[in-house]
Amino acid sequence: MKIALSLAALVALALAPFGVSDYGLGLLIGAVTYVTLASGWAVFSGHTRYVSLATVAFYGTGAYTVAVLNEAMPYWLVLIVAGLIGAAIALVVGLSTLRLAGVYFVIFTFGLSELVRQLITWYEVNVTGTLGRYIFLDVSAREIYWQMLALGAATIALTAWIQRHRLGLALRVIGDDEVVAAHSGIPLARTKLTAFVLSATILTLAGAIASPRWVYVEPSIVFNPTVSFLTVIMALLGGANRLWGPVLGAVPLFLAFEWLSARFPDTYPIFLGLLFILVVFALPDGILAGLERLKTRKTEDRA
Amino acid sequence: MLVTTLILGLVLGGTYALLALGLTLQYGISRIMNLAYGEFTLVSAFALVALFKGAGVPPLLAIVLIAPLGYAVGWILYAVMMRPLVARAGDAGRLDVASILATFGLMFLIQGGLLVTFGADFTSITYLDQGVNVLGVPVALNRLIAFAICVVAGGGLVLALGRTRWGLALRAVAQTPGSAPLVGIDVNRVARQGFALGTALAAIAGASIAMHQTFSATDGVVFTMKALVIVIMGGVGNVAGTLIAGLALGLVETFVATAIDPGLTLAATFAIFLVVLLWRPQGLFGRR
């Protein structure tokens, strides 16, 4: 029943571009992109409580790969290469950092995004001599939308599968208590690494798919740290450890931020900050958990 | 050439060390990973500029006024915002995540407030910028004053933490917050003091940066990152380590800027940071 409902929603969403304006399609692409990013982020961070701020490092790497390779290879091959590069970076980063305690991991991932941006900027300015690159690809907005929708659907399906699988159970135990996890025979490093690489590949692909929308790409655009923060807050608002949590957080927040940044471009960071604080204090486990608490309290009242 | 790099590097490093002192206290003693730290310094920097340009208050006097204000703000912030997080979190890992997320919100909030109030333009003041000859190298007087403030604040802190009863209580909470109550230490009060003292140091650092450097409302993240790099290099809560790491970072940045490429200084900072995190996450001078 639930699967049928999800499939029906997917079909409806896939047909949506035929009924909306160009602006509407832009909104749809943005919403689906953030749903994909938040869900992809939650594949690793949702259960383990390792808050990664490297989202934009992978997202930007994906976009940049397309910008560099789009004239050298066919589009589908570029996507595959982008995914592989993302997975390779995640493997190296994961192998070296996943032994770090939580807070160092957060700072490391944040530093990583900045380091990648600085290095690419420096390389482009000093070695290639151009800061920006152009992406001339014959990919229409509708095609981008469908690709992103497919990636988002695949991410949610993957999350559903992981949650029912040994990997999901292992990740949940690690999130609860790493010492217990190690004692019950869970290979800590391998489990975390698998989830991290899966998550990073999704994020990189999302950046690669979204890149033709920009046409002009430079490091400060594609490595904008706000993307990392938005992804985290969206996933947390909905409930990062739930299947539909990131979706539930991403859609309303994306629309709210679109509206706010168009209407109040100056005071927009203030709203973002207030929302962050509100979520941390009022809904530490997300909307879904909050709703469930409300429900159980009601049934208890009746009994 | 080498002497120039050394002296300029040390002077820059003094600013960095001062910048990182407050953060190492906040995370070491209060266990709050404050990612809005750079914004705290910026608020103080803007306050100094506003006092100087608007009311003609001399910057050195302004610092004396701003520092206690920073203490008060930190005290209130801890009581209102951080204390509930500490009470709710239970273990250290959860507190890290909760404090990082909450201070992220605070970061955006302050940054947005600064952008609305002061705009996105670069700000600076001209104050005591005549050159002073140090071993044949001309150094601006305001930078030397900032360096002196760092030496006084850092040295005073090392002495206060190492030699006084109050410092002993702070160190006890930093080391084992669970056992400190057993010897009659009010952990909540000490943690609040640590956070407030850290905020006061952030205010002093911000004010002394405003005396000699150009800055803008979006620079907070860079300040936070540099302070974090130094705190982790020096070992969390280790004041002497922080001072040495700050000076070292200043030297490395000046060296990279003069010998390799000025565009790579920030990249060099992050590279050092990542290497230290991987190789010695307990800090260069820390013990496991």
Evaluate if residue A302 carries a pLDDT over 80.
no
Interface probe with B: pick from A53, A107, A223, A257, most Cβ of B within 10 Å: A107
Question: pLDDT-based confidence at A303, cuts 50/70/90?
Answer: low
Nearest to B49 by CA among B127, B129, B147: B127
Q: Which residue of B has its CA nearest to A108?
A: B274
Cβ of B105 within 8 Å of Cβ of A280? The answer is yes
Query: Nearest by CB to A277, which of B96, B106, B270?
Result: B106
Q: Note the pLDDT tens digit of each residue in A135-183.
A: 777 778 888 888 899 999 999 999 999 988 888 888 888 888 888 888 9
Contact B277 A107 (CB under 8 A): yes
From B116's Cα to the closest Cα of chain A, the distance in A is 6
Q: Do A277 and B111 touch (CB under 8 A)?
A: no
Contacts of B111 in chain A (CB under 8 A): 269, 273
Q: In this structure, are residues B42 and B112 in contact, taking their beta carbons and an 8 Å threshold?
A: no
Domain definitions of chain A by residue range: 2-251
Long-range Cβ contact pairs of B129-134 (< 8 A, separation 24 or more): B129/B212, B134/B7
Please give, rounded to a whole number of angstroms, the shortest distance from the CA of B13 to a CA of chain A.
20
The amino acid at residue B140 is A
Task: Write the residue in B81, B115, B232 that is nearest to A269 by C-beta.
Answer: B115
The more confident residue out of A47 and A158 is: A158
Contact B232 A118 (CB under 8 A): no
| Percent residues over pLDDT 90 in chain A | 16
How close is the nearest chain A Cα to the Cα of B128, in Å? 33
Contacts of B5 (CB under 8 A, 6+ apart): B251, B254, B255, B258, B259
Please state which CATH class domain B2-279 belongs to: mainly alpha
By C-alpha distance, which of B89, B84, B68, B82 is closest to B35?
A: B82
Cβ distance of B105 and A274 shorter than 8 Å = yes
CB contact under 8 A, B108 and A272: yes
Residue ranges of the domains in chain B? 2-279
Reply yes or no on whether the pLDDT at A2 is more than 80. Answer: no
Q: Does the distance separating the beta carbons of B98 and A273 come in below 8 Å?
A: no
In this complex, do A115 and B102 lie within 8 Å of one another by their Cβ atoms?
A: no
The closest of B11, B74, B16 to B242, measured between CA atoms, is: B16
Hey, how many other C-beta atoms are within 10 angstroms of the C-beta on A295? 10
Q: A interface toward B at CB cutoff 8 Å?
A: 49, 51, 96-97, 100-104, 106-108, 110-112, 114-115, 118-119, 121-122, 125-126, 225, 229, 232, 236, 266-281, 284
Residue in B closest to A113 by C-alpha:
B270
DSSP class of residue B186 equals -
Q: Do A269 and B111 touch (CB under 8 A)?
A: yes
Residue of B nearest to A109 (CA): B274
Instruction: Provide the shortest C-alpha distance from residue A4 to chain B (in Å).
Output: 36
Interface test with B, best of A270, A271, A283 (most B CBs within 10 A): A270
Cross-chain residue pair B109–A232, CB shorter than 8 Å: no
pLDDT digits (tens, 9 = 90+) for B138-175: 777 888 888 888 888 888 888 888 888 888 888 888 88
| Contact state of A270 with B232 under an 8 Å Cβ cutoff | no
Count Cα atoms within 13 angstroms, Cβ side, for B192.
Answer: 16
pLDDT of residue B70: 92
User: How much is the pLDDT for B39?
Assistant: 92
- Contact across the interface for A103 and B261, Cβ inside 8 Å: no
**A269 and B112 in contact by Cβ < 8 A?**
yes
Q: What is the pLDDT of residue B153?
A: 86
Tell me how far apart the alpha carbons of residues A206 and A209 are, in angstroms, rounded to a whole number: 5
* Interior angle at CA A192, CA B87 and CA B98, nearest 5: 20
Q: With CB atoms and an 8 Å threshold, state whether A273 touches B107.
A: yes
Q: Is the pLDDT of residue A216 over 70?
A: yes
Segments in chain B below pLDDT 50 = 288
pLDDT of residue A102: 67
pLDDT above 70 covers a percentage of chain A that reads 98
Name the minimum distance, in Å, from the CA of B127 to any CA of chain A. 31
Task: Give A215-242 as a 3 state SS string.
Answer: CEECHHHHCCCHHHHHHHHHHHHHCCCC
Nearest CA in chain A to B266: A118
Contacts of B96 in chain A (CB under 8 A): 102-103, 106
Nearest by CB: A276 against B108, B221, B270: B108
CA distances from A113 to A109, A168, A292, B85, B270 (A): 6, 27, 36, 28, 10
- B116 CB neighbours in chain A (<8 A) are 266-267, 270
Tell me the fold of A2-251. ABC transporter involved in vitamin B12 uptake, BtuC (1.10.3470)
Please say if the pLDDT value at position A260 is more than 80.
yes
Task: For strands B137-140 and B131-134, give the pairing.
Answer: antiparallel
Q: Give the model confidence (pLDDT) of A90-117 as tens digits.
A: 998 888 777 776 677 887 888 788 778 8
Residue corresponding to tokens 């690489």: A197
ipTM score of the complex?
A: 0.75
